[in-house]
Protein backbone atom coordinates (compact mmCIF):
# COMPACT_ATOMS: atom_id res chain seq x y z
CA UNK A 1 0.00 0.00 0.00
CA UNK A 2 1.31 3.43 -0.97
CA UNK A 3 -0.37 6.81 -0.49
CA UNK A 4 0.57 8.90 -3.54
CA UNK A 5 2.65 12.04 -3.21
CA UNK A 6 1.92 14.73 -5.78
CA UNK A 7 4.00 17.77 -6.57
CA UNK A 8 7.36 19.20 -5.63
CA UNK A 9 5.94 21.08 -2.63
CA UNK A 10 4.52 17.92 -1.08
CA UNK A 11 7.78 16.04 -1.66
CA UNK A 12 9.69 18.96 -0.18
CA UNK A 13 7.54 18.91 2.96
CA UNK A 14 8.02 15.15 3.32
CA UNK A 15 11.79 15.63 3.05
CA UNK A 16 11.71 18.46 5.60
CA UNK A 17 9.83 16.32 8.15
CA UNK A 18 12.18 13.36 7.64
CA UNK A 19 15.19 15.64 8.08
CA UNK A 20 13.73 17.29 11.20
CA UNK A 21 13.11 13.88 12.80
CA UNK A 22 16.63 12.62 12.21
CA UNK A 23 18.15 15.92 13.37
CA UNK A 24 16.29 15.52 16.66
CA UNK A 25 17.73 12.03 17.15
CA UNK A 26 21.25 13.24 16.39
CA UNK A 27 20.87 16.25 18.69
CA UNK A 28 19.73 13.94 21.47
CA UNK A 29 22.93 11.92 21.12
CA UNK A 30 25.40 14.80 20.93
CA UNK A 31 23.72 17.00 23.52
CA UNK A 32 24.30 14.33 26.16
CA UNK A 33 28.05 14.45 25.54
CA UNK A 34 28.08 18.15 26.33
CA UNK A 35 25.95 17.65 29.46
CA UNK A 36 28.17 14.94 30.97
CA UNK A 37 30.37 17.24 33.13
CA UNK A 38 27.28 18.79 34.83
CA UNK A 39 25.58 15.41 34.97
CA UNK A 40 28.63 13.98 36.77
CA UNK A 41 28.50 16.81 39.28
CA UNK A 42 24.78 16.34 40.04
CA UNK A 43 24.35 12.54 39.92
CA UNK A 44 27.89 11.40 40.77
CA UNK A 45 27.92 8.34 38.45
CA UNK A 46 30.90 5.99 38.30
CA UNK A 47 33.09 5.85 35.20
CA UNK A 48 31.27 2.69 34.09
CA UNK A 49 27.89 4.34 34.60
CA UNK A 50 29.03 7.32 32.54
CA UNK A 51 29.79 4.99 29.64
CA UNK A 52 26.42 3.26 30.06
CA UNK A 53 24.59 6.58 30.15
CA UNK A 54 26.40 7.64 26.99
CA UNK A 55 26.07 4.45 24.96
CA UNK A 56 22.99 2.51 26.18
CA UNK A 57 20.80 4.71 23.95
CA UNK A 58 22.77 3.54 20.92
CA UNK A 59 22.83 -0.09 22.10
CA UNK A 60 19.05 -0.34 22.47
CA UNK A 61 18.39 1.64 19.32
CA UNK A 62 20.73 -0.65 17.38
CA UNK A 63 19.19 -3.78 18.87
CA UNK A 64 15.63 -2.79 17.94
CA UNK A 65 16.16 -1.12 14.54
CA UNK A 66 15.82 -4.35 12.55
CA UNK A 67 12.60 -5.23 14.36
CA UNK A 68 11.12 -1.74 14.04
CA UNK A 69 12.06 -1.45 10.38
CA UNK A 70 10.20 -4.68 9.71
CA UNK A 71 7.26 -3.53 11.86
CA UNK A 72 7.07 -0.34 9.79
CA UNK A 73 6.95 -2.37 6.59
CA UNK A 74 3.98 -4.24 8.07
CA UNK A 75 1.85 -1.68 9.91
CA UNK A 76 2.87 1.43 7.97
CA UNK A 77 5.95 3.64 8.22
CA UNK A 78 3.96 6.80 8.98
CA UNK A 79 2.03 5.09 11.76
CA UNK A 80 5.24 3.80 13.32
CA UNK A 81 6.88 7.23 13.17
CA UNK A 82 3.87 8.80 14.91
CA UNK A 83 4.02 6.17 17.66
CA UNK A 84 7.74 6.84 18.02
CA UNK A 85 7.34 10.58 18.46
CA UNK A 86 4.90 10.07 21.35
CA UNK A 87 7.21 7.52 22.98
CA UNK A 88 10.25 9.74 22.52
CA UNK A 89 8.48 12.65 24.20
CA UNK A 90 7.58 10.55 27.25
CA UNK A 91 11.12 9.15 27.53
CA UNK A 92 12.60 12.65 27.19
CA UNK A 93 10.52 13.81 30.14
CA UNK A 94 11.73 10.91 32.28
CA UNK A 95 15.34 11.53 31.23
CA UNK A 96 15.18 15.22 32.10
CA UNK A 97 14.01 14.57 35.65
CA UNK A 98 15.98 11.38 36.40
CA UNK A 99 16.97 11.59 40.10
CA UNK A 100 19.97 9.26 39.89
CA UNK A 101 22.25 7.46 37.46
CA UNK A 102 20.26 4.22 37.55
CA UNK A 103 16.97 5.91 36.55
CA UNK A 104 18.80 7.90 33.89
CA UNK A 105 20.12 4.69 32.33
CA UNK A 106 16.57 3.27 32.27
CA UNK A 107 15.29 6.46 30.66
CA UNK A 108 18.00 6.24 28.01
CA UNK A 109 16.87 2.67 27.29
CA UNK A 110 13.35 3.95 26.63
CA UNK A 111 14.71 6.75 24.44
CA UNK A 112 16.60 4.18 22.39
CA UNK A 113 13.48 2.06 21.93
CA UNK A 114 11.48 5.09 20.78
CA UNK A 115 14.29 6.26 18.51
CA UNK A 116 14.32 2.85 16.84
CA UNK A 117 10.76 3.45 15.64
CA UNK A 118 11.57 6.86 14.14
CA UNK A 119 14.90 6.43 12.36
CA UNK A 120 14.13 3.66 9.82
CA UNK A 121 10.72 5.21 9.17
CA UNK A 122 12.25 8.46 7.89
CA UNK A 123 14.57 6.74 5.39
CA UNK A 124 12.01 4.22 4.17
CA UNK A 125 9.46 6.99 3.59
CA UNK A 126 12.02 8.85 1.47
CA UNK A 127 12.78 5.65 -0.44
CA UNK A 128 9.11 5.32 -1.37
CA UNK A 129 8.42 9.00 -2.10
CA UNK A 130 11.48 9.79 -4.23
CA UNK A 131 11.21 7.15 -6.96
CA UNK A 132 13.46 8.88 -9.51
CA UNK A 133 17.05 7.66 -8.91
CA UNK A 134 18.65 11.11 -9.15
CA UNK A 135 15.99 12.69 -6.93
CA UNK A 136 16.43 9.86 -4.43
CA UNK A 137 20.20 10.32 -4.29
CA UNK A 138 19.82 14.06 -3.74
CA UNK A 139 17.12 13.59 -1.08
CA UNK A 140 19.10 11.02 0.88
CA UNK A 141 22.20 13.19 0.55
CA UNK A 142 20.33 16.10 2.08
CA UNK A 143 18.93 13.80 4.78
CA UNK A 144 22.48 12.70 5.60
CA UNK A 145 23.69 16.30 5.64
CA UNK A 146 20.91 17.36 7.98
CA UNK A 147 21.65 14.39 10.20
CA UNK A 148 25.19 15.69 10.45
CA UNK A 149 23.86 19.16 11.25
CA UNK A 150 22.57 17.69 14.49
CA UNK A 151 26.21 17.73 15.55
CA UNK A 152 26.01 21.52 15.06
CA UNK A 153 22.67 22.15 16.73
CA UNK A 154 23.15 19.75 19.64
CA UNK A 155 26.20 21.44 21.17
CA UNK A 156 24.90 24.96 20.48
CA UNK A 157 21.41 24.37 21.90
CA UNK A 158 22.84 22.30 24.71
CA UNK A 159 25.52 24.84 25.50
CA UNK A 160 23.03 27.69 25.66
CA UNK A 161 20.74 25.70 27.97
CA UNK A 162 23.55 24.41 30.18
CA UNK A 163 24.85 27.92 30.71
CA UNK A 164 21.54 28.83 32.37
CA UNK A 165 19.74 25.65 33.45
CA UNK A 166 20.36 22.17 34.86
CA UNK A 167 21.55 19.32 32.65
CA UNK A 168 18.05 17.84 32.22
CA UNK A 169 16.92 20.90 30.28
CA UNK A 170 18.71 19.59 27.17
CA UNK A 171 16.16 16.74 27.03
CA UNK A 172 13.12 18.73 28.12
CA UNK A 173 13.40 20.90 25.00
CA UNK A 174 12.59 17.80 22.91
CA UNK A 175 8.94 17.87 23.92
CA UNK A 176 7.68 21.01 22.08
CA UNK A 177 9.72 20.01 19.01
CA UNK A 178 8.17 16.54 19.04
CA UNK A 179 4.68 18.05 19.32
CA UNK A 180 5.22 20.11 16.15
CA UNK A 181 6.78 17.11 14.41
CA UNK A 182 3.82 14.89 15.31
CA UNK A 183 1.25 17.34 13.92
CA UNK A 184 3.25 17.93 10.72
CA UNK A 185 3.78 14.21 10.15
CA UNK A 186 0.10 13.47 10.76
CA UNK A 187 -0.97 16.02 8.14
CA UNK A 188 1.74 15.68 5.49
CA UNK A 189 3.41 12.29 5.42
CA UNK A 190 2.09 9.61 3.07
CA UNK A 191 1.45 6.13 4.38
CA UNK A 192 3.28 3.20 2.83
CA UNK A 193 3.72 -0.43 3.75
CA UNK A 194 4.54 -3.77 2.23
CA UNK A 195 1.28 -5.02 0.64
CA UNK A 196 2.23 -8.65 1.39
CA UNK A 197 4.25 -8.45 4.60
CA UNK A 198 3.43 -11.75 6.24
CA UNK A 199 3.32 -12.15 9.98
CA UNK A 200 6.06 -10.88 12.28
CA UNK A 201 8.34 -13.70 13.41
CA UNK A 202 8.77 -13.18 17.16
CA UNK A 203 11.64 -15.64 17.61
CA UNK A 204 13.58 -13.56 15.05
CA UNK A 205 12.80 -10.41 17.04
CA UNK A 206 14.26 -11.94 20.20
CA UNK A 207 17.29 -13.38 18.41
CA UNK A 208 18.20 -10.17 16.56
CA UNK A 209 17.74 -7.90 19.57
CA UNK A 210 19.55 -10.16 21.99
CA UNK A 211 22.33 -10.92 19.53
CA UNK A 212 23.17 -7.30 18.71
CA UNK A 213 22.99 -6.08 22.30
CA UNK A 214 24.92 -9.11 23.58
CA UNK A 215 27.84 -8.65 21.23
CA UNK A 216 28.02 -4.90 21.72
CA UNK A 217 27.92 -5.33 25.50
CA UNK A 218 30.74 -7.88 25.32
CA UNK A 219 32.92 -5.51 23.32
CA UNK A 220 32.24 -2.65 25.74
CA UNK A 221 33.11 -4.72 28.77
CA UNK A 222 36.22 -6.15 27.09
CA UNK A 223 37.47 -2.67 26.23
CA UNK A 224 36.84 -1.41 29.75
CA UNK A 225 37.99 -4.32 31.91
CA UNK A 226 39.89 -6.68 29.62
CA UNK A 227 39.01 -9.70 27.51
CA UNK A 228 39.72 -12.20 30.28
CA UNK A 229 36.51 -11.44 32.18
CA UNK A 230 34.05 -14.37 32.28
CA UNK A 231 31.10 -12.08 31.54
CA UNK A 232 32.78 -10.89 28.33
CA UNK A 233 33.14 -14.41 26.96
CA UNK A 234 29.69 -15.41 28.16
CA UNK A 235 27.86 -12.48 26.56
CA UNK A 236 29.94 -12.70 23.37
CA UNK A 237 29.12 -16.39 22.98
CA UNK A 238 25.42 -15.86 23.70
CA UNK A 239 25.21 -12.85 21.37
CA UNK A 240 27.15 -14.56 18.58
CA UNK A 241 25.08 -17.74 18.88
CA UNK A 242 21.83 -15.73 18.81
CA UNK A 243 22.88 -13.93 15.63
CA UNK A 244 24.02 -17.17 13.99
CA UNK A 245 20.64 -18.79 14.70
CA UNK A 246 18.93 -15.58 13.54
CA UNK A 247 20.71 -15.66 10.17
CA UNK A 248 19.93 -19.35 9.63
CA UNK A 249 16.30 -18.75 10.52
CA UNK A 250 15.99 -15.86 8.06
CA UNK A 251 17.07 -18.10 5.16
CA UNK A 252 14.13 -20.44 5.88
CA UNK A 253 11.32 -17.94 6.39
CA UNK A 254 8.92 -16.87 3.65
CA UNK A 255 8.73 -13.41 5.22
CA UNK A 256 12.03 -12.91 7.07
CA UNK A 257 12.73 -10.01 9.39
CA UNK A 258 15.59 -9.14 7.03
CA UNK A 259 16.61 -10.76 3.76
CA UNK A 260 20.16 -11.82 4.64
CA UNK A 261 20.80 -12.67 0.98
CA UNK A 262 21.14 -8.93 0.35
CA UNK A 263 24.60 -9.22 1.89
CA UNK A 264 25.67 -11.26 -1.14
CA UNK A 265 25.66 -7.97 -3.03
CA UNK A 266 29.06 -6.33 -2.75
CA UNK A 267 27.54 -2.84 -2.99
CA UNK A 268 25.15 -3.49 -0.13
CA UNK A 269 27.72 -5.13 2.15
CA UNK A 270 30.41 -2.55 1.38
CA UNK A 271 28.09 0.37 2.09
CA UNK A 272 26.87 -1.13 5.38
CA UNK A 273 30.44 -1.77 6.58
CA UNK A 274 31.54 1.75 5.64
CA UNK A 275 28.63 3.17 7.68
CA UNK A 276 29.58 1.11 10.70
CA UNK A 277 33.24 2.08 10.84
CA UNK A 278 32.69 5.75 9.99
CA UNK A 279 30.29 6.07 12.93
CA UNK A 280 32.77 4.15 15.08
CA UNK A 281 35.25 7.00 14.67
CA UNK A 282 32.90 9.98 14.56
CA UNK A 283 30.67 9.48 17.61
CA UNK A 284 33.53 8.59 19.93
CA UNK A 285 35.44 11.70 18.93
CA UNK A 286 32.36 13.84 19.67
CA UNK A 287 32.24 12.49 23.23
CA UNK A 288 35.99 12.95 23.73
CA UNK A 289 35.98 16.49 22.33
CA UNK A 290 33.25 17.65 24.72
CA UNK A 291 35.44 16.57 27.65
CA UNK A 292 38.59 18.07 26.12
CA UNK A 293 37.08 21.51 25.58
CA UNK A 294 35.44 21.73 29.00
CA UNK A 295 37.77 19.79 31.31
CA UNK A 296 41.18 20.40 29.71
CA UNK A 297 40.72 23.88 28.25
CA UNK A 298 38.17 24.99 30.86
CA UNK A 299 35.64 26.33 28.35
CA UNK A 300 31.95 26.85 29.15
CA UNK A 301 29.39 24.40 27.69
CA UNK A 302 28.22 27.01 25.19
CA UNK A 303 31.75 27.83 24.04
CA UNK A 304 32.50 24.11 23.77
CA UNK A 305 29.38 23.64 21.67
CA UNK A 306 30.22 26.50 19.33
CA UNK A 307 33.75 25.14 18.96
CA UNK A 308 32.43 22.09 17.10
CA UNK A 309 30.48 24.21 14.59
CA UNK A 310 33.01 24.18 11.70
CA UNK A 311 33.35 20.41 11.59
CA UNK A 312 29.64 19.69 11.85
CA UNK A 313 28.79 22.35 9.26
CA UNK A 314 31.41 20.82 6.95
CA UNK A 315 29.70 17.46 7.37
CA UNK A 316 26.37 18.95 6.31
CA UNK A 317 28.04 20.45 3.23
CA UNK A 318 29.75 17.17 2.36
CA UNK A 319 26.50 15.21 2.49
CA UNK A 320 24.10 17.82 1.12
CA UNK A 321 26.14 19.56 -1.58
CA UNK A 322 29.21 17.56 -2.59
CA UNK A 323 28.18 13.91 -2.59
CA UNK A 324 25.79 13.90 -5.56
CA UNK A 325 28.09 15.79 -7.99
CA UNK A 326 31.06 13.66 -6.96
CA UNK A 327 29.11 10.46 -7.67
CA UNK A 328 28.53 11.74 -11.20
CA UNK A 329 32.16 12.79 -11.63
CA UNK A 330 34.13 9.90 -10.11
CA UNK A 331 31.63 7.20 -9.11
CA UNK A 332 30.33 5.87 -5.81
CA UNK A 333 33.34 3.82 -4.72
CA UNK A 334 35.83 6.63 -5.25
CA UNK A 335 33.54 9.15 -3.53
CA UNK A 336 33.26 6.98 -0.41
CA UNK A 337 37.00 6.18 -0.48
CA UNK A 338 37.86 9.88 -0.86
CA UNK A 339 35.50 10.84 1.97
CA UNK A 340 36.86 8.29 4.42
CA UNK A 341 40.44 9.12 3.40
CA UNK A 342 39.82 12.79 4.18
CA UNK A 343 38.34 11.70 7.51
CA UNK A 344 41.48 9.70 8.33
CA UNK A 345 43.71 12.71 7.62
CA UNK A 346 41.60 14.97 9.82
CA UNK A 347 41.52 12.46 12.67
CA UNK A 348 45.32 12.19 12.59
CA UNK A 349 45.53 15.99 12.80
CA UNK A 350 43.65 15.89 16.11
CA UNK A 351 46.97 14.95 17.68
CA UNK A 352 47.84 18.67 17.45
CA UNK A 353 45.45 19.25 20.39
CA UNK A 354 47.46 20.25 23.44
CA UNK A 355 47.25 21.60 26.95
CA UNK A 356 46.64 25.10 25.64
CA UNK A 357 44.08 26.19 23.09
CA UNK A 358 45.20 25.93 19.45
CA UNK A 359 41.73 26.26 18.02
CA UNK A 360 42.58 27.19 14.44
CA UNK A 361 44.64 24.03 14.08
CA UNK A 362 41.70 22.01 15.37
CA UNK A 363 39.47 23.69 12.77
CA UNK A 364 41.94 22.58 10.09
CA UNK A 365 41.42 19.03 11.37
CA UNK A 366 37.63 19.26 11.81
CA UNK A 367 36.86 20.35 8.25
CA UNK A 368 38.23 17.30 6.38
CA UNK A 369 36.68 15.00 9.00
CA UNK A 370 33.28 16.67 8.54
CA UNK A 371 33.35 16.90 4.75
CA UNK A 372 34.69 13.39 4.35
CA UNK A 373 32.24 11.67 6.66
CA UNK A 374 29.33 13.68 5.24
CA UNK A 375 30.18 12.55 1.71
CA UNK A 376 30.59 8.93 2.76
CA UNK A 377 27.32 8.72 4.70
CA UNK A 378 25.30 10.26 1.86
CA UNK A 379 26.64 7.81 -0.73
CA UNK A 380 26.45 4.68 1.42
CA UNK A 381 22.95 5.50 2.67
CA UNK A 382 21.65 5.92 -0.86
CA UNK A 383 23.48 2.79 -2.06
CA UNK A 384 21.95 0.62 0.66
CA UNK A 385 18.39 1.81 0.02
CA UNK A 386 18.72 1.70 -3.77
CA UNK A 387 19.65 -1.98 -3.70
CA UNK A 388 16.60 -2.94 -1.59
CA UNK A 389 13.14 -3.44 -3.16
CA UNK A 390 10.68 -0.68 -2.24
CA UNK A 391 8.38 -2.95 -0.28
CA UNK A 392 11.30 -3.79 2.03
CA UNK A 393 12.46 -0.21 2.43
CA UNK A 394 11.94 -0.28 6.19
CA UNK A 395 14.08 -3.37 6.61
CA UNK A 396 16.77 -1.94 4.33
CA UNK A 397 16.84 1.34 6.20
CA UNK A 398 16.99 -0.56 9.47
CA UNK A 399 20.04 -2.53 8.35
CA UNK A 400 21.83 0.67 7.35
CA UNK A 401 20.92 2.45 10.58
CA UNK A 402 21.74 -0.60 12.68
CA UNK A 403 25.26 -0.57 11.25
CA UNK A 404 25.61 3.13 12.05
CA UNK A 405 24.27 2.82 15.59
CA UNK A 406 26.32 -0.27 16.35
CA UNK A 407 29.34 1.58 15.01
CA UNK A 408 28.59 4.62 17.17
CA UNK A 409 28.01 2.53 20.27
CA UNK A 410 31.16 0.52 19.62
CA UNK A 411 33.11 3.73 19.11
CA UNK A 412 32.03 5.05 22.49
CA UNK A 413 32.60 1.67 24.10
CA UNK A 414 35.97 0.83 22.53
CA UNK A 415 37.57 4.23 22.01
CA UNK A 416 35.96 5.68 25.14
CA UNK A 417 37.12 2.76 27.26
CA UNK A 418 40.56 2.83 25.62
CA UNK A 419 40.75 6.53 26.44
CA UNK A 420 39.94 5.80 30.09
CA UNK A 421 42.50 3.00 30.20
CA UNK A 422 45.23 5.13 28.59
CA UNK A 423 44.36 8.00 30.95
CA UNK A 424 44.71 5.76 34.01
CA UNK A 425 47.96 4.13 32.88
CA UNK A 426 49.50 7.47 31.88
CA UNK A 427 48.49 9.38 35.00
CA UNK A 428 51.22 10.30 37.46
CA UNK A 429 49.40 10.99 40.73
CA UNK A 430 51.28 13.69 42.69
CA UNK A 431 52.81 12.83 46.04
CA UNK A 432 50.80 13.90 49.04
CA UNK A 433 47.39 12.91 47.64
CA UNK A 434 45.47 10.90 50.28
CA UNK A 435 45.34 7.18 49.43
CA UNK A 436 41.54 7.23 49.63
CA UNK A 437 41.39 9.84 46.83
CA UNK A 438 43.71 8.06 44.37
CA UNK A 439 41.10 5.64 42.90
CA UNK A 440 38.79 8.53 42.03
CA UNK A 441 41.60 10.54 40.44
CA UNK A 442 42.60 7.51 38.36
CA UNK A 443 38.99 6.87 37.38
CA UNK A 444 38.52 9.82 35.00
CA UNK A 445 39.55 13.41 34.43
CA UNK A 446 36.12 14.60 35.61
CA UNK A 447 36.50 12.72 38.90
CA UNK A 448 40.03 14.10 39.27
CA UNK A 449 38.69 17.64 38.95
CA UNK A 450 36.11 16.98 41.66
CA UNK A 451 38.72 15.53 44.02
CA UNK A 452 41.04 18.47 43.36
CA UNK A 453 38.36 20.89 44.56
CA UNK A 454 38.64 19.41 48.06
CA UNK A 455 42.46 19.46 48.29
CA UNK A 456 44.82 22.25 49.37
CA UNK A 457 45.45 24.76 46.59
CA UNK A 458 49.01 23.70 45.69
CA UNK A 459 48.20 19.99 45.66
CA UNK A 460 44.94 20.63 43.77
CA UNK A 461 46.86 22.45 41.02
CA UNK A 462 49.22 19.48 40.67
CA UNK A 463 46.33 17.01 40.41
CA UNK A 464 44.58 19.12 37.77
CA UNK A 465 47.78 19.48 35.72
CA UNK A 466 48.58 15.75 35.91
CA UNK A 467 45.05 14.73 34.89
CA UNK A 468 45.02 17.19 31.98
CA UNK A 469 48.34 15.84 30.69
CA UNK A 470 47.15 12.24 30.96
CA UNK A 471 43.86 13.02 29.19
CA UNK A 472 45.53 14.81 26.27
CA UNK A 473 47.95 11.93 25.74
CA UNK A 474 45.04 9.48 25.81
CA UNK A 475 43.10 11.69 23.36
CA UNK A 476 46.02 11.54 20.91
CA UNK A 477 46.11 7.76 21.10
CA UNK A 478 42.39 7.38 20.44
CA UNK A 479 42.60 9.79 17.48
CA UNK A 480 45.42 7.81 15.88
CA UNK A 481 43.55 4.53 16.33
CA UNK A 482 40.45 6.03 14.72
CA UNK A 483 42.53 7.46 11.85
CA UNK A 484 44.11 4.07 11.17
CA UNK A 485 40.70 2.37 11.09
CA UNK A 486 39.37 4.97 8.65
CA UNK A 487 42.34 4.59 6.32
CA UNK A 488 41.78 0.83 6.13
CA UNK A 489 38.03 1.22 5.53
CA UNK A 490 38.70 3.81 2.79
CA UNK A 491 40.78 1.26 0.87
CA UNK A 492 38.18 -1.48 1.46
CA UNK A 493 35.43 0.80 0.14
CA UNK A 494 37.33 1.43 -3.10
CA UNK A 495 37.34 -2.32 -3.68
CA UNK A 496 33.83 -3.26 -2.53
CA UNK A 497 32.08 -0.35 -4.30
CA UNK A 498 34.22 -0.19 -7.45
CA UNK A 499 31.62 -1.75 -9.79
CA UNK A 500 28.54 0.00 -8.41
CA UNK A 501 26.89 2.16 -11.11
CA UNK A 502 26.72 5.90 -10.61
CA UNK A 503 22.93 5.84 -10.99
CA UNK A 504 21.13 2.87 -9.42
CA UNK A 505 17.74 2.40 -11.04
CA UNK A 506 14.60 1.34 -9.21
CA UNK A 507 14.20 -2.35 -8.42
CA UNK A 508 11.47 -3.95 -10.47
CA UNK A 509 8.73 -5.61 -8.41
CA UNK A 510 9.93 -9.05 -9.39
CA UNK A 511 13.61 -8.37 -8.76
CA UNK A 512 14.87 -10.47 -5.88
CA UNK A 513 18.43 -11.11 -4.81
CA UNK A 514 18.01 -14.88 -5.13
CA UNK A 515 15.46 -17.60 -5.77
CA UNK A 516 12.24 -17.75 -3.70
CA UNK A 517 12.66 -19.07 -0.20
CA UNK A 518 10.98 -22.20 1.17
CA UNK A 519 8.16 -21.69 3.61
CA UNK A 520 8.71 -22.14 7.35
CA UNK A 521 5.90 -21.97 9.86
Domain spans of the chain, in order of start? 12-200+257-426+434-496, 201-256
pLDDT at 521: 34
User: Residues for the chain: how many in total?
Assistant: 521
Q: Choose among 485, 23, 72, 53: nearest CA to 276.
A: 485
| Residue-level pLDDT at 409 | 66
**pTM of this prediction?**
0.76
Per-residue pLDDT tens, the chain, 521 aa: give them: 555 555 678 888 888 898 888 888 878 776 776 677 788 888 888 777 887 787 788 778 778 888 888 888 888 888 999 999 999 999 999 999 988 888 999 999 999 899 888 888 888 888 878 877 777 777 887 787 777 677 667 777 777 787 788 888 888 888 998 999 999 999 988 887 777 767 888 888 899 888 888 877 787 677 666 677 788 889 889 988 999 999 899 888 887 887 787 788 778 888 888 888 888 877 666 667 777 888 888 887 778 778 878 887 888 788 777 888 888 888 888 999 999 999 999 999 988 888 888 889 889 988 998 899 888 888 888 888 777 776 676 677 777 777 777 777 677 767 777 787 888 888 888 888 888 888 888 878 888 888 888 888 888 888 888 999 999 998 888 888 888 888 998 998 888 888 777 766 655 444 444 333 333 33
- 353-to-21, 284, 293, 468, 514 alpha-carbon distances in Å: 34, 16, 10, 12, 51
| Whole-number pLDDT of residue 152 | 66
In this prediction, residue 331 carries a pLDDT of 87
**Assigned CATH for 12-200+257-426+434-496:** 1.20.1250.20
Q: What are phi and psi of 469, to 5 degrees?
A: -60, -45
Q: What is the dihedral of CA 338, 340, 344, 347, to 10 degrees?
A: 120
Amino acid sequence: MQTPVNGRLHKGLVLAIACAAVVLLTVDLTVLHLAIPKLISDLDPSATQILWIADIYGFVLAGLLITMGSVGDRIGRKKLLLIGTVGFAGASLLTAYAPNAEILIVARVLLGAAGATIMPSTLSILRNVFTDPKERTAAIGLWSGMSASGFVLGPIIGGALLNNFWWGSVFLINIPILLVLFIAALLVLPESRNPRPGRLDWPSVVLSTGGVIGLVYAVKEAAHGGVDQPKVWATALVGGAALAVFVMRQTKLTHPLIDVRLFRRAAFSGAVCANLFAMFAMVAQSLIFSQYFQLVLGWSPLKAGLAGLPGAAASAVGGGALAAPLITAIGRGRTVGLGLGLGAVGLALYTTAGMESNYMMLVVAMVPVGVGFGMAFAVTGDTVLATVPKERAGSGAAISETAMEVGGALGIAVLGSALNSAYTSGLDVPEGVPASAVPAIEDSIAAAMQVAASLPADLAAQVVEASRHAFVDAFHLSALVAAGVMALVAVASLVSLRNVPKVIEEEEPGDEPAEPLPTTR
